[in-house]
Amino acid sequence: MTDAAENYAGVYDRSVGFGDRPALVLIDFAQAYYDETCPLFAGEGAVIALTAALKLRAAARAAQVPVILTRVALHPSGIDGGRFYEKAAPLEAFLPGRATAEFAEGLVPEADELVVSKQYPSAFFGTSLASTLTAMGCDSVILTGLTTSGCVRASCVDAMSHGFRTLVVREACGDRHAAPHEANLFDMNAKYADVIGMDACLAEFAKPGGGLSVSA
């Protein structure tokens, strides 16, 4: 029995590369994942991911690459969360008025950053994100966020399905356990996106002349 990397070699090993006009997306960095009393608490993985995402955000802004943040925003009854809310009990953390629904400490949206509210795992499902990216002239998305096996993966699949080159920054994603984190990074890299290191992403942002700039 071969290991996963050997088994996939020569089958799922293409790279799509960086697009010309990307957007950086920070997915669901909510206080819920940092509150030890919350069922969604994700521990050290969430802390590492946010630290990396904030560094990428600063570099993206310097390169005039747009930054988009997502958050889960539910009706008080949870009805707009549909079967997702019915299945995943911890989504109560995102009901109105809960401190756990707020952005994580240290992450405050800037006035020029788009905030996308969603009710389902994907940042694209039921939102205007795809249309907005197209209107902005973006051909690619660079994904960060929480959790790797949940909303990051769902957003990754939908980004690819909408025709965007999709990249996922390994260090800037987190999960409550290493096993689903690593398994989903492996699978996304095989089929839907390029999973890259933060240094590679920072290097692209820092290219002379703002090679990734999407400014008007």
The residues annotated as belonging to the active site are 151
Cβ-contact 56, 202 below 8 angstroms = yes
What CA–CA distance (Å, rounded) separates 168 from 170? 6
Q: Which residues pair with 22 in a beta bridge?
A: 140
What CA–CA distance (Å, rounded) separates 177 from 157? 21
Q: Can you list the alpha helix ranges (DSSP code H) found in 38-149?
A: 43-62, 82-87, 129-136
Helix (H) or strand (E) holding 194: strand 194-196
Helix (H) or strand (E) holding 188: helix 178-191
Q: Which residues contact 99 (CB under 8 A, 6 or more apart)?
A: 31, 35
Q: Which residues contact 145 (CB under 8 A, 6 or more apart)?
A: 25, 26, 27, 28, 29, 49, 53, 70, 151, 152, 155, 172, 173
